[in-house]
Structure 1
């Protein structure tokens, strides 16, 4: 029996559940218990069922539809990547459907497992969310061609940034300026098996310190109350009141670095004379604050990921490719 012959009614009957439960398991899997979800997915897979497209939605079959998942509300960098994606797909009459996701740092289980099963998209871009094995299996069974950005899974084509090397570059620069006691400023995160971009950057900083061979190299962990400017400003105010403090601060991204720098200036702390400050990303904010940072080509990475996805849609049976983007240090007045 081909998948076009199988209905949701047959899946529900074979799985021993209601039609509405099947619909939830496929479209809103986080609202169904893992045991029930797995049973439905297994049965649907055995029957060869895949959700079809709506008549109205696919009557326009000459065009394509791409879904993009990312923590857009939490990080401006993904919105910039989206610009590159839209620029690439726009001339090809490809519709882009955007889904906002929580950041991995706020979840005790950050791996993307409960991915909705969609029959109305021709390709999928997943940005900034690590893909777990269940999610990978679901994509292989149901999903369209998929490209990961800022996440790696050996089974999928991906575009990533060398975050550890970025941290290494910044720390090496600061060590060259005579700093030996550094601080790393980052948003709060829950301990998980997933290594976030922020932790990879911290690993790079630690590697540079180890290689420095100084008798007392070290790095202090500065955990913010939130991922925003007020939290960074509050942290800077507390930092400025210390009698002893690190001489350089590396922030997880430029927005936090700018907030910290603003708080230092309010407290009368001179940068870089008393404290050096650096970040990651290099957008207009970094240039406006004269911030030393590591440049990421966000729009370019979005365009590259979109081109890879277009290629996969045209030729689905390609082997997974991994693109690793190289960081570039940008030195300005804050160090």
Structure 2
């Protein structure tokens, strides 16, 4: 049986480095992590706890990786995942990760080794080519949500189309001064949903002869509030603001209230996602079929786990505008 020492010798590193690469991958440099994982794959090493888990029968384990603590939308997708399991004896294991706007995911590269997974759903988490190759080589059924990569089933919406929807709605209301509040981008390795929504918003406005003011903030109401105050205190003040999601839009609406501005008479606000927060605020927003995306992803994954073959499926779900009092 291959041991962790064999992996260390194959990779040319210490046993403790192998252990860190598998159990705390964020503490190991990317080149070292790749060497360790290559050795793991070459030797067929399985950690002891995982070997025990693999001996079980009758219960499958599905991993779902998403930024659960940062985005309520991720939790709604999991509701959809759970609804698609039916009566099958499955365990759903959640891996909470930062937004792709903030960082890459070292955990993603090591998941097939460190946890017994029969399949994995990646939510808003782009794959780099090295990780994609690894998942394919290990034959781990994988479905992507909100992103696409060659060779993998995916479920997604068109974020740029959502940005165009928001722009078209605000233009139809007669606005001529526009702003966009998006999520601060800390990593340039990936294009985030916020960036794609801005691209669509910009394109539609440019076609009408307008250019939006763009501001970015961390994904929390307090940061959005501070940035929105700056936007709304500027001269000339924008009369219409599109926020990359409903949390950021909530910050805009609160800032308007604190500055004595009426919504929508002084400033119109559009968000993105649509859930309980948008309903409570009377927020016009681009509605995503979040539960449906999770359910569809799980159906695709179970099809692959059950031996389904055939062409890769890329399923596009429809966005629509939920018009409420904020515009």
Aligned Cα root-mean-square deviation (Å): 2.3
TM-score (norm: length of structure 2): 0.90
- Answering whether residue 146 of structure 2 is matched by residue 150 of structure 1, we say yes
Change in Cα spacing, 1:160 to 1:176, as seen in structure 2 (3 Å) is same
**1:115 aligns to what?**
110
Shift of 1:323: 1.2
2-structure distance, mates of 1:111, 1:177: 45
- Answering whether residue 61 of structure 2 is matched by residue 65 of structure 1, we say yes
> Gaps (5+ residues) in structure 1?
none
Change in Cα spacing, 1:222 to 1:10, as seen in structure 2 (3 Å) is closer
Shift of 1:130: 1.0
Contact 1:11 1:43 (C-alpha < 8 Å) held by counterparts = yes
Query: How many residues are matched?
Result: 326
**2:214 aligns to what?**
221
Q: Of 237, 257, 262, which aligns to 1:265? A: 257
TM-score (norm: length of structure 1): 0.88
Contact 2:61 2:91 (C-alpha < 8 Å) held by counterparts = yes
- Answering whether residue 190 of structure 2 is matched by residue 197 of structure 1, we say no
Q: Of 265, 285, 290, which aligns to 1:293? A: 285
**1:76 aligns to what?**
72
1-structure distance, mates of 2:308, 2:40: 22
Contact 1:125 1:149 (C-alpha < 8 Å) held by counterparts = yes
1-structure distance, mates of 2:4, 2:227: 54
Matches within 5 A, 1:1-335: 6-51=2-47, 54=50, 57-89=53-85, 91-107=87-103, 109=104, 114-116=109-111, 117-118=113-114, 120-142=116-138, 144-190=140-186, 192-212=188-208, 214=209, 217-224=210-217, 226-315=218-307, 317-335=309-327
Contact 1:111 1:132 (C-alpha < 8 Å) held by counterparts = no
Contact 1:110 1:194 (C-alpha < 8 Å) held by counterparts = no
Change in Cα spacing, 1:175 to 1:80, as seen in structure 2 (3 Å) is same
Per-residue CA distance 1:200-247 (angstroms, 9 max, x = gap): 1111111111222x3xx11001222x2112222233333343342111
Shift of 1:36: 3.2
